[in-house]
Amino acid sequence: MSAQSIDLTAGDLVEARRFGRRQITGMVFGVAGIALIALVAPNITGDTRTFAFEPPPDALDFSFDPPTMVTIIGLIYLLAGGLSFLPQQFDRWAGRGQLLAAAATIPLILVVALGLSATPATNVTNLFDESLVLATPIALGAMTGLWSERSGIINIGIEGTMLGSAGVGFMIFATLGEASSTTWLWIAILVAVLTGGALALLLAVLSIRYQINQIVAGVVINLFALGLTGFLRSEVIVPSGNSKGISTSEFGIPLLEQIPILGDTFFTGKPIHYMMYAVVFLTWLVMFRTAWGLRVRSCGEDPHAAETLGIDVIKTRYRSVVLGGFIAGLAGAWFSMESQSGFEDNMTNAAGFIALAAMIFGKWTPGGAFAGALLFGFARALGSRLQFLEVEISGFGIPSEFFQSLPFAVTLVVVAGALGRSIAPAAEGQPYRPSK
């Protein structure tokens, strides 16, 4: 494969198509399908298992016997594999088939896990709700990266920006609001958002004005935030005596919360979580449907061409990096004032880097990045769920570490297998000097 990709001429491209990524992915699905039908289905327990959609009593549920389900999913895999080898004009169908097969992996994992566990039922609605909640900071962080990188500034300081805003926001809440007043909670969230903007402004000044290597600038932010928040925690937050307090409270979305089953879980939740959806949607809307977004993107692709069109590249870059910082600030507030109330050293725990991965996973698009964030959220929720189910293979308990590492392994496989090379904005990382 590598030999062919050295000099891609038109002829090579046609040559490469015959046995490209799609066919290879198809083959993997085909083999997996056969393995499921021939090996997994006959060996899995025949006892009935249940997916519950509501908490008991009299829950709505879906019962099935694992071998049949595994066989059905295996057939879907086989179908996807077969479709991949159709002539080129059916490429769309092959793509759809693979997408379906990939989606079927989620129920497959659940079915197999439940089949291997002694527990007969598990609540699925909750699981999906947990996934969405856990995706919140990752999706927000990915949007931060998107704003910055689409304008041409590499941002690996997402982690630090989130951590810094989590710490500074909670510090304000603990000192001024004694971690108990709702008004101060919201003021503190606002402070967190502004802190995110300030840290992003630092990144912007370093990379735009001083033109230092943007990766270095990001690392500076990460280190600085780690030090600063640690310092604030031990010198201000802990002495204030308000290390713990209230966090944002759940509320239901009017009308939608009345929907049976879904209303209680999906439409009842915490505010920053819902803001995340708005941020993702607005990012997409502004970046891909407005003139402003077009300008931002053109600065990331070819700043000099943008300049000839009368766009002020420097201003545009400052604006979008700082806007991204606000979003990261919101993500920071999620950590210290929504998911829990309190600040711990390094509490973002690499979520910023995972957001970065989600953004690259989504090939620098809002929708893709959101999907990446969901994948992480789901895998993490699934990991802790499976741990709880005590899955065993012939008496050998599968260690919980295995499930905890599952999200990362899945991402690795997805990125390597289905995604391939992702193309960053062309002018990213290059310092820009106005041509005057």
Partner 1 sequence: MGTDQRDLEPSGFRLKVQEAFQLQPVLVPLYAILLSFIVGGILIALIGVNPFEAYWALLRGMFGSKDNIAASVARSVPFMGSALALAFAFRAGLFNIGAEGQLLVGGVTAAWVGTWAWMTDTPAIIAIPIILLAGAFGGFMWGWVPGILRAKTGAHEVISTIMLNSIALFLVRWIVNSRDPVILRDLEASVPRTEAISDTAELPTIIDSQPPLHWGLFVMLGVCFLIAFVLKRTTFGFETITVGTNPHAARYAGMSVDRIIILAMAISGACAGIAAASEVSGTNQLFQPGTFALIGFDGIAVALLARANPIGIIPSALLWGSLLSGAPLMQQEADVSIDVVRIIQSMVLLFVAADAIVRYIFRVRGEAEAHIKASTTGWAGQ
Residues that bind partner 1 (CB under 8 A): 1-2, 6-7, 154, 206, 210, 212-217, 219-220, 222-224, 226-231, 234-235, 350, 353-354, 356-357, 360-361, 397, 399, 401-402, 404-405, 408-409, 411-412, 415-417, 419-431
Q: How far is the CB of 275 from partner 1 (least distance, A)?
A: 26
Residue in this structure with the two tokens 């939740």, named with its chain if needed: 269
Q: How far apart are CA 127 and CA 266, in angstroms?
A: 11
Nearer to partner 1 (CB atom), residue 186 or residue 353: 353
Q: How far is the CB of 52 from partner 1 (least distance, A)?
A: 29
Environment class of residue 105 by beta-carbon count within 10 Å: exposed (0-12), middle (13-18) or buried (19+)?
A: middle
Nearer to partner 1 (CB atom), residue 68 or residue 213: 213
Nearer to partner 1 (CB atom), residue 273 or residue 380: 380
Q: How far is the CB of 300 from partner 1 (least distance, A)?
A: 9
Nearer to partner 1 (CB atom), residue 99 or residue 216: 216
**Bridge partners for 122 per DSSP:** 51
Helices 351-361 & 400-414, crossing angle to 10 degrees? 30
Nearer to partner 1 (CB atom), residue 85 or residue 224: 224
| 57 preceded by a cis bond (ω within 30 of 0) | yes
Q: How far is the CB of 323 from partner 1 (least distance, A)?
A: 20
What number of other Cβ atoms are within 10 A of residue 7's Cβ?
6
Q: How far apart are CA 37 and CA 233, in angstroms?
A: 55
Q: Is the separation of the CB atoms in 237 and 173 below 8 Å?
A: no
- 435 Cα distance to chain centroid: 38
| Helix intervals (H) in 84-157 | 91-116, 124-150
Q: How far is the CB of 141 from partner 1 (least distance, A)?
A: 13
Helix, strand and coil content of the chain, in percent to the nearest 5, comes to: 70, 5, 25
Q: How far is the CB of 400 from partner 1 (least distance, A)?
A: 8
Nearer to partner 1 (CB atom), residue 123 or residue 348: 348
What number of other Cβ atoms are within 10 A of residue 122's Cβ?
20
Q: How many CA atoms lie within 13 A of 178 on its CB side?
A: 2
Q: How far is the CB of 402 from partner 1 (least distance, A)?
A: 7
Q: Tokens standing for 348?
A: 């973002």
Q: Is the separation of the CB atoms in 104 and 424 below 8 Å?
A: no
Q: How far apart are CA 273 and CA 255, in angstroms?
A: 18
Q: How far is the CB of 230 from partner 1 (least distance, A)?
A: 3
3-state secondary structure of 123: strand
Secondary structure element (H or E) that encloses residue 356, with its range: helix 351-361
Q: How far is the CB of 228 from partner 1 (least distance, A)?
A: 6
Nearer to partner 1 (CB atom), residue 389 or residue 398: 398
Nearer to partner 1 (CB atom), residue 278 or residue 393: 393
Q: How far is the CB of 299 from partner 1 (least distance, A)?
A: 13
Nearer to partner 1 (CB atom), residue 78 or residue 357: 357
Q: Tokens standing for 161?
A: 């920006």
Nearer to partner 1 (CB atom), residue 122 or residue 411: 411
Cα–Cα distances in Å, from 393 out to 40, 114, 397?
12, 12, 6
Q: How far apart are CA 236 and CA 147, in angstroms?
A: 33
